[in-house]
A and B are shown apart, each in its own frame.
Chain A
Amino acid sequence: MPDKFKFAFMPSASCGGCEIAIVDIDEVILKVAELADIVYWPTALDFKDHHLEALPDGSITVGFFNGAVRNDHDVHHAKLLRQKSAFVVAFGACAQMGGIPSLGNFWTTEELAHRMYDTVPSVNNPEGTRPQLKYDAPEGELTLPRAMDRAYALDQVIDVDYYLPGCPPQVKWIVAAVEAVASGELPPKGTVIAGTKAVCDECPRERSEEKQVTEFKRIHLVENDPEKCLLEQGIMCCGPATRDGCEAACVTAGQACRGCFGPTDNVNDMGAKLASAIASITVADAQEEADRILGHLDDPAGYFYRFGLAKSMLGVQRGEFKPEAE
């Protein structure tokens, strides 16, 4: 190991919240600075690709990658970070499992572009102008990256060593990851650096032994009892299938869990796990009754795959394309 570690922070199809999470470690950043040199972090400092390209292969101790992989430029960045880093961490829900941008995987990229450039109410584009990969401006050529067919999680593009889940990742787990690097006591490859149980296990709300839901309701239609399990009040909550480690932050603030830490261990598909959890707590004697109860679950796709559609076994589900209906 070198005298001082080297860290890199690579943004991709992301919102910058992960970068703010790094800053949120407050004074711990001073310890990080003692421990490591930050050799690439374009969101915070003026780094370009050539700075990363100039580093020897494998010379970065840990490359932290945030964001989904959405275009060929992101793919290039992912591969470059892999080449230059001894360890790569998928940092945040988008890198871990596609995140919010992968909700777009219900549509084709062309369908997304049609909405964005042709029909969204704030766009006036009668000539149907679209971004071009190459554009010959009078002064010279301009280029853009090519959007991929969908959003990908990082480990669908490169080999990933560790996962720091969350939207955004929580300070205590970022610190835990840095401490693991500092001490050299690294967990097994593939470890998700967070809890090992479900959010329900650290949720402070009271729940009965046997959950029984006879109706699902939207949260603004319920007098939400702050002491009681949200699911038992008929409010869709992803806690039963979601990895813990966030100290039930959303639930404690009165909002249901939406699964940003991803599934617990040994779960292949978060949506399937949630569907199973919902089925086990729904009380219905007949199919019609079950249909009625579940019919009130307005947006199962958006609840079950809020942060992880890229990693779903569903793969890509296409919406029906109806441009004339807009």
Chain B
Amino acid sequence: MQKIEIDPISRLEGHGKIAIFLDDAGDVAEAYLQIPELRGFEQFCVGRPVEELPRITPRICGV
């Protein structure tokens, strides 16, 4: 099966890649979006003073 991979997805903040599989007729059989990034905001925000979070969570996405 032919595979078209778009890696990285450009012109955006964040990280992503797309895999598109084509069948014998050249039609899309399946497409996958993958997010290849791990930073851990879900954990390292826990326990911080709540008034500090407006200065931490904007760094999830700064665009």
Partner of B60, one of A15, A48, A109: A15
Convert B9-48 into 0s and 1s, putting 1 for each residue whose CB lies closer than 8 angstroms to a CB of A: 0111110000101000000011010101111101110111
Q: Is the CB of A147 within 8 A of B38?
A: yes
Chain A residues near B3 (CB, 8 Å)?
139-140
Interchain pairs with CB closer than 8 A, number: 124
The CA of A16 and the CA of B14, in the complex, are separated in Å by 7
- CB neighbors of B among A57-72 (8 A): 70-71
Which residue of chain A has the shortest Cβ distance to B38 in the bound complex?
A147
Known: A17-B58, A112-B39. 19 other contacts (CB 8 A): A13-B37, A15-B62, A20-B62, A43-B13, A71-B38, A99-B59, A100-B59, A103-B40, A103-B56, A104-B44, A107-B40, A107-B43, A112-B38, A115-B42, A116-B43, A137-B30, A139-B3, A299-B47, A299-B49
Q: Say if the beta carbon of A28 comes within 8 Å of chain B.
A: no
Point out residues on A near B: beta carbons under 8 Å. 11, 13-20, 42-49, 70-71, 73, 99-101, 103-104, 106-107, 109, 111-113, 115-116, 120, 131, 137-140, 142, 144-145, 147, 151, 167-168, 218-220, 255, 258, 298-299, 302, 306
Q: Please judge, given known A-B contacts A13-B37, A42-B8, A112-B38, whether A142 and B44 are in contact too, CB under 8 Å.
A: no
State A238–B8 Cα separation when bound (angstroms): 37
A137 to chain B: closest CB distance in Å? 7
B42 touches A116 (CB 8 A): yes
Chain B interface residue count, Cβ-Cβ cutoff 8 angstroms = 37
